[in-house]
Amino acid sequence: MKKSAFVTREQAEEITKAYPTPFHIYDERGIRENARRLKKAFSWNQGYKEFFAVKAAPNPFLMGILKEEGCGCDCSSYTELMLSDAAGVQGENIMFSSNETPAEEYALAAALGATINLDDITHIDFLEQTLGSLPKTLSCRFNPGGYFAMGTEIMDNPGDAKYGFTREQMFEGFRILKAKGVENFGIHAFLASNTVSNEYYPTLARQLFELAVELQRDTGAHVAFINLSGGIGIPYKPDQEANDIQVIGEGVRKVYEELLVPAGMGDVAIYTELGRFMTGPYGHLITKVIHEKHTHKEYLGVDACAVNLMRPAMYGAYHHITVLGKEEEACDHQYDVVGSLCENNDKFAIDRMLPKTEIGDYLAIHDTGAHGFSMGYNYNGKLRSAELLLREDGSVELIRRAETPRDYFATFDGFEVYDRLFPGERREAERENQG
């Protein structure tokens, strides 16, 4: 299978007249069409809602697009809650799933009307002490322990994860919450990451639906929704077959009708919290080749680095690379594609076969629309790039400017470093504010 970039060499050359590389660029059309496919796949469930995982791409422009397509937001921190509120996503359209949660984060979630998903049974008392009383709707995150497998294949190891209630704690927690006045209950679980299999959601759904029937029967609690969370992945490699979201939705429907409907629970809403699946394939990191190095290996040095995309350095993750303008040329040259950090793992590709590539060529690094920019950092004093949006009409919009040295030094207030580097600037800004 061929992976094609949604940006051409000509477009990159035009864009860089206003916005120099490196930058992340997102495809509005692709994001919208994908959100519509997801909604259609679960349209059989009257209460279905997708809560976009903000951690994947925390940008209000992207969140706004998904809001227009009917999505809410899944938040896990104070600032993600603030960002969702600023993007116009509020109330029950926010799902707050966090762990080791500070009191102020629970307080803000409650103030915004978000649905809170508890990660631990001890957080019941903590939340009650923080808010004074419990909300009428609460969710609990389930961790069954052990290994999560599909058939004979082990997909992940929930027993080693720090998240969630045990099975016994789910029953105890529901009884405690019901006694404290909670009326509507949710069940949430995330048992495997980035699965490229149409069977993950139906297999997870079976576990959660069976648990829901038992919980409602044994505790008398009303299960209002079941949140399948994330875990549906994307094909990073060209030879991987993409998930078929229509097949996945149909698989969940069959399990729903097999287990929940006969138990009188045909009104249970299904929620999802997808991030990578929603935006991942619809982002590129565009970077320019600025050096060639011929030593023990052949290197292409680019103006991006792990600051702009951490996944290859952190996980050894594969991201496909297109040399823009050379899509039809033979991939008969082997390169390491590297950035400028003082770390030897700052490599976007190792021994990658590409067309003959030269200084000045533009590279599109694929599938950076989720956990790309959002995982950026400032090691070596590197600055994070701009984010751009390729609109449906072909225009390009700046949706986050690139960081500047002023941004990097702005937090050194107590040491007057900023004032030494940019003398008088802060005082001038203060005079303007007063005026």
- Where residue 229 sits, what CATH number does that domain have? 3.20.20.10
Task: Indicate the number of domains in the chain.
Answer: 3
Say if 1 falls within a structural domain. Answer: no
> Which CATH number covers residue 337?
2.40.37.10
* Contact between 230 and 275 (Cβ < 8 Å): yes
pLDDT at 24: 98
**Partners of 227 in the β-ladder:** 188, 271
Q: Provide the percentage of residues in the chain whose pLDDT is more than 70.
A: 92
Q: What's the pLDDT band for 191 if we cut at 50, 70, 90?
A: confident
Nearest-angstrom CA–CA distance, 123 and 165: 11
Model confidence, pTM: 0.93
User: Of residues 140 and 413, which shows the higher confidence score?
Assistant: 140
Q: Is the pLDDT confidence value at 339 over 80? A: yes
Same domain, 212 and 343: no
342 classed as catalytic? yes
Average pLDDT, integer, range 401-420: 82
Would you place residue 423 in the very low, low, confident or very high pLDDT band (cuts 50, 70, 90)?
confident
Structural domain containing residue 103? 28-280
Q: Report in angstroms the alpha-carbon separations of 97 from 101, 106, 329, 421.
A: 9, 10, 47, 41
CA distances from 303 to 281, 289, 406 (A): 22, 7, 20
State the pLDDT at residue 67.
98
Pair 411, 391 in one domain: no
- For residue 350 the two structure tokens come to 């190792």
Fill in the DSSP letter of residue 274: -
17 inside domain: no
Residue 429 falls within a domain, yes or no? Answer: yes
Judgement on whether residues 345 and 434 belong to the same structural domain of the protein: no
Task: Point out the domain boundary residue: 258, 280, 302.
Answer: 280
pLDDT band at 410 (very low <50, low <70, confident <90, very high): confident
Q: Are residues 252 and 294 in the same domain?
A: no
Same domain, 308 and 418: no
256, part of any domain: yes
Is residue 209 domain-shared with residue 354, that is, in the same domain? no
**For residue 6, is it within any domain?**
no
- Give the pLDDT confidence score for residue 333 in this predicted structure: 98
Looking at the fold, whether 341 and 238 belong to one and the same domain comes out as no
* Same domain flag for 260 and 392: no
Same-domain check for residues 276 and 286 = no
pLDDT given at position 48: 98
Per-residue confidence (pLDDT) for residue 281, from 0 to 100: 98
Which residue in this structure is represented by tokens 């950035």?
Answer: 339
- Mean per-residue pLDDT, 194-212: 94
- The answer on 294 and 171 residing in a single domain is no
Residues 295 and 370 in one domain: yes
Question: How many Cα atoms sit within 13 Å of 395 on the Cβ side?
Answer: 4
Q: pLDDT tens for residues 221-272?
A: 999 999 999 999 999 999 999 999 999 999 999 999 999 999 999 999 999 9
Give per-residue pLDDT as tens, 36-89: 999 999 999 999 999 999 999 999 999 999 999 999 999 999 999 999 999 999
Q: Summarize pLDDT for 92-143 with one digit per residue, the tens.
A: 999 999 999 999 999 999 999 999 999 999 999 999 999 999 999 999 999 9
pLDDT at 414 over 80: no
Q: How far apart, in whole angstroms, are the C-alpha atoms of residue 77 and residue 82?
A: 9
Which runs of consecutive H residues, i.e. helices, occur in 260-336?
276-279, 311-315
Of 256, 280, 304, the residue that ends a domain is: 280
pLDDT at 397: 98
Q: Could you tell me if residue 13 is inside a domain?
A: no
| Last residue in a domain, options 226, 251, 280 | 280
Q: Look at residue 111 and tell me if it is in a domain.
A: yes
Strand partners, 184: 137, 222
Q: Do residues 346 and 427 both lie within one domain?
A: no
